[in-house]
Amino acid sequence: MDRFRIYALNKILESAKLTPEQNAVAAKELRRKCAIYIKGAAKRGKVKDVEFYTRLMEKYRD
């Protein structure tokens, strides 16, 4: 479920239609959701998912 929310947040962040404040909030939420997803993926041994979402999370670092 979070995977689809992460996808939607990434899509809206890439669209550049947000104000700087909205962009910061969306990026923070994307990082939070990625961290949750990474934790679950690591627990289940999904190495590729962990790598992908870690890179995505790093893309939106402050």
pTM to 2 decimal places: 0.87
pLDDT digit string (tens) for 8-59? 999 999 998 999 999 999 999 999 999 999 999 999 999 999 999 999 999 9
Q: State the maximum Cα–Cα separation within the chain, in Å, rounded to a whole number.
A: 37
